[in-house]
Structure 1
Amino acid sequence: MRTIDPKLKALLEYGPLVVFFVAFLLLKEHTITLMGTDYSGVVGATLVFVPVLVLCTAAQWALTGTLSVMQMLTLVLVVVFGGLSIWLNDPRFFKMKPTIIYAIFAGLLALGLALGRNWLELVMNAALPLTHRGWRLLTIRLIWFFVALAALNEVLRRATDPGGFMGLVLSDQAWVNFKTFGILAATFLFFIANGPLFARHALPRDGD
């Protein structure tokens, strides 16, 4: 695995999300026409987002020689569900993507624990040495965190449908804000909140 400048890495990872947000802001009151089909709002922004994500992921693979499981799974789901939203001109498919991806992550981590294999520990232990109990506790918390994100996305995306969901009615802007900033902020707060766990269960690195 080759390393790249952290600023470039951040640009390749978060740039497509920023592009999606900006594209939505520009298109939510307008439409773009391609091959006789009018696209607006979330679908129009998805039309911009999908190729940008593909290009950025390809660039990261070319520069580093590797991609994480999360990156590959995200790319596949974005292409599939984003493609369905564009093909059918229906934003619901793209809005389902966070629900599905976080449900998959929760399911995989839970399956690993059930099989006695902590896959999170196997993948990340070299970068973040923790005790086995520490990894188990972090994995259990991550499972519930992913379940909560999947459930919250499902509520928010259904609330943007005509008629809302269980009395809750939201605009597409609310869902886009959640996808662009809400998930990132929640993830940041999750790891900040687990600082005491890292402190209690950290293992010394070589030379420390």
Structure 2
Amino acid sequence: MSEHIIEDAPNEPGRKEMSPFLKFALELGPLLVFFFANSKGEELAHAFPILADLGGPLFIATALFMAAMVIALAVSWVVTRTLPIMPLVSGFVVLVFGGLTLWLQDETFIKLKPTIINALFAGALLGGLLFGKSFLGYVFDQAFKLDDEGWRKLTFRWGLFFVFLAILNIVVWQVADAYYGPGQTADDVWVDFKVWAVMPLTVIFMMTQLPLIKRHATEPIGGKKE
């Protein structure tokens, strides 16, 4: 049987699955690298002079973020011999916009990246529903199994949530620049939001979806299905 570069469809026979803990670590790891590099940019530039040529802390963080994304995708390939769709899309956008950020020395591109990614995910999820496809199953099928109606409803809700995140990124970025003025302080506020606010918001949103998941689960979740 030939291997697929992109992960197989949910519930595909013989699909290689990754540990949920490892999957979470690979998704969160690059963000932590980004935060650390931005907060310790000056120290990193002093310790590794080659990094100083990239620019200020945000530019150093961008370069290391790109490297971390490539490493995370490489680990996914080694473990499952496939590439997960959403991290692959995210990684592609990070490399393109991160590359533009470094090349043009303009932080606008890396700050636009979350909005572009969330807009792409929203478009894919909501657009897929128009063609009868619930693409969210690619992301969560290792965590739980739902019937078709459940995947449709959950996909629609996640699509709207990604729209919310896309808009929120622009709002935080612009408000920080307006309040502090463009510079490192405003950059730090935006990075803190990206690393420490988006994940809790996502976890809270996921928790609000548990009733829907329990109603449409086809397999027990944490015990006997009601």
TM-score w.r.t. the length of structure 1 is 0.83
The equivalent of 1:22 in structure 2 is 36
Q: Which of 174, 178, 197 in structure 1 is aligned with 2:189?
A: 174
Unaligned runs of 5+ in 2: 1-14
Report SS of the residue matched to 2:145. Answer: coil
Secondary structure of the residue aligned to 1:118 is coil
User: Which residue of structure 2 lines up, in the alignment, with residue 189 of structure 1?
Assistant: 204
Look up the match of 1:55.
Answer: 71
| 2:94 alignment partner in structure 1 | 78
Q: Structure 1: how far apart are the matches of 2:87 and 2:66?
A: 14
Within the candidate set 93, 107, 125, 1:91 is matched to 107
Query: Aligned equivalents of 1:2 and 1:122: distance in 2?
Result: 12
Q: Is the 8 A contact 1:31 1:39 kept in 2?
A: no
1:10–1:123 Cα change, 3 Å: closer
Distance 1:154 1:193, change over 3 A: same
CA distance in 1, matches of 2:20, 2:143: 16
**CA distance in 2: counterparts of 1:128 and 1:11, whole angstroms:** 19
Q: Deviations over 1:107-142 (max 9, x none)?
A: 111111222222224765575222332222212211
Separation of aligned partners in 2, 1:137 and 1:4: 25
Structure 2 length as normaliser, TM-score? 0.77
- Residues 39 and 89, structure 1, Cα contact 8 Å, conserved in 2: yes
* Worse-superposed segment, 40-49 or 184-193: 40-49
Answering whether residue 29 of structure 2 is matched by residue 12 of structure 1, we say: no
Shift of 1:78: 0.5
Q: Structure 1's 175 and 100: CA in aligned 2 closer, same or farther, altered over 3 A?
A: same
Deviations 1:11-68 (A, max 9, x none): 4332221111111111269967659846113112112221122122212212221121
Structure 2 Cα separation of the partners of residues 99 and 34 of structure 1: 30
Determine helix, strand or coil for the equivalent of 2:82.
coil
The one of 122, 139, 152 equivalent to 2:155 is 139
Distance 1:9 1:123, change over 3 A: closer
Q: Alignment RMSD, CA only? A: 2.8
- What is the identity, as a one-letter code, of the residue corresponding to 2:66? V
Residues of 1 paired with 2:139 and 2:168: CA distance?
A: 27
User: Paired residues, what number?
Assistant: 201
CA contact 1:92–1:157 (8 Å) conserved in 2: no
Verify the 8 A CA contact 1:29 1:40 in the aligned structure 2: no
- What fraction of aligned residue pairs are identical, expressed as a percent? 39
2:200 alignment partner AA: A
Structure 1 counterpart of 2:205, one-letter code: F
The letter for the 1-side match of 2:55 is Y
Structure 1 residues 15 and 119 mapped into 2: Cα distance closer, same or farther (>3 Å)? closer
